[in-house]
Structure 1
């Protein structure tokens, strides 16, 4: 009979080397992807990360015989409050298609979170929404876009087998009629032009100051969204410095009001080469209600059309977020994702 055992470590303890190697073998990452994944994971689990001012974590590795076959990290993010239950988080999941191994990981994480006084857990989420979260559940045959959650098809099945239930779904829509979509957005675009709003790229020569604008936009725009907790400015800068530079300044659009204040953000990325992926739309609360978000998206469509791109994807949208309805039927849902919850007991 094959024996299983679970080992663990905290950020202040010596890590288990296999924890960082498992995703390449199980998820099929390239060498470059594996290096990036491991670097991001090590940064998140570094005890010096400002995330740990308000959080704790414990990471687990399960072995079948002598071989490591799965990993999982449990997070107690003390800023995750105001919920109907006391939630912990589980993320950084990687596991062979082995229900016993997955169950042992989840049980170990559940026990640790229970010791922290938490009665439920949510995942996959690596500490907060500013890091990796969600499983893809549909669209595995599509070409990935930058930053999209990608996982083996058996991961959602393993979570279900471990007692998790999907509680929140997300989707990506693909639009191929760019001119038609721009026409639908033109009413909001014209209204906000008359209100004095205009747009500029993030300023590469003034990067740190504009990054502060992006931080404040995300901080205030998403504060009331599901499962959002505040990130420190240092942690945000560490994550988004690399991320925004991958986008390129021309794909980071800032909305400017009549007093020259930065009040909105539209972030997109290319990939595949003929596709623009709209990743983030953020508007300060006092500027919402007049379609500024739609106007920012219209600006991205203008640029996509001018560049000769063939499609635009509206990425990772929550089920009731306004962008879900801006396409008015022009968009086709091509990928879906989910978040899961279960009790710690």
Structure 2
């Protein structure tokens, strides 16, 4: 028997009906906070019996990474009713792409600077529920990927997170890499929280250069970048943000890591560190700077008594994965989906 189509409402992120949009996610019972809908995106909510049962955001990006021209971006996908969720995915594609050839990506909350990707069901006993979600990780019920596949989407890129559990073991190449970094005239220091905006500006400028060739990259302005990083400031241990500078003070590379507050035991401190971002300037590549900075986070975490370091959300064919596999075990995989006319 065919399932009756849900009632659908569409509105902007500043509409009072956004409460229904957030209610769907509340019903899924997430361990991590919701992410705001970017200005310019539209919200769709599906209702059954007057209750919100599925939601998503959608909009159009221009020249997103390797996709020329307009590209539909579908994000914030949540549902408690599977058929309503799949119907909403179909409806979003129709609304944003009707009448012309299209390329749709999802889930992606406005851009790859926001939350994107779906966590995939575990493939082995070493993956999945053994590691609870970490701060900044995309989390979802395990059957969401099947919703996208039923709506005609297919995997376009895969990602992984890995964990280092032996923090006492330094990278065997550490001394060699340290000498190469010194020979380049580079010095390594911690983040200066008293100059947070200046430090963030330098990180932003290097990120724009380092990530410009990343899959589905799209540029943003500094104010948006700052707004995304500002909530992390109270959580930061400046020793875990390592900056590599040349003799003139120019940023050659950085690693941005922070204590994972979601790993805190009752009445205690966090036990894990999340290595969120690693980047090197083009002129510093080949030094092994990324490997050295990654090991710097391990070293600092070990000295401060943490139990593990998470190498978060690495694209499967990225250089960071090669660096990570020397010491880390993959525990979660993710996928980004596309639908092409």
**Class of the TM-score when normalised by the shorter of the 2 chains:** 0.7 to 0.9
- 2:327 is aligned, of 307, 327, 330, to 330
Change (3 A) 1:304 1:110: same
Shift of 1:237: 0.9
- The answer to whether the 8 Å contact 1:171/1:315 transfers is yes
> Structure 1 stretches of 5 or more lacking a match?
48-55
User: What's 2:156 paired with?
Assistant: 167
Tell me, yes or no, if structure 1 residue 293 matches structure 2 residue 277: no
SS at match of 1:229: coil
User: What's 1:114 paired with?
Assistant: 97
User: What's 2:55 paired with?
Assistant: 71
**What does the per-residue CA deviation read over 1:176-227, in whole Å, with 9 as the maximum and x for residues that have no partner?**
2334442244432331123221222221111111111111121111011001
Provide the rounded CA distance (Å) in 2 between the counterparts of 1:255 and 1:329. Answer: 22
Normalised TM-score (structure 1): 0.87
Which has more helix, going by share of residues?
1
Normalised TM-score (structure 2): 0.87
User: What's 1:241 paired with?
Assistant: 230
Question: For the aligned residues, what is the CA RMSD?
Answer: 2.2
> Structure 2 stretches of 5 or more lacking a match?
264-269
Tell me, yes or no, if structure 1 residue 89 matches structure 2 residue 89: no
Change (3 A) 1:328 1:186: farther
User: What's 1:261 paired with?
Assistant: 250
User: What's 2:221 paired with?
Assistant: 232
User: What's 1:124 paired with?
Assistant: 107
Shift of 1:267: 0.8
Higher alpha-carbon deviation: 118-127 or 8-17? 8-17
Provide the rounded CA distance (Å) in 1 between the counterparts of 2:12 and 2:87. Answer: 18
* Count of residue pairs brought into register by the alignment: 325
Provide the rounded CA distance (Å) in 2 between the counterparts of 1:215 and 1:327. Answer: 23
- The answer to whether the 8 Å contact 1:189/1:298 transfers is no
SS at match of 1:210: helix
Tell me, yes or no, if structure 1 residue 308 matches structure 2 residue 305: yes
SS at match of 1:77: strand
Provide the rounded CA distance (Å) in 1 between the counterparts of 2:222 and 2:99. Answer: 26
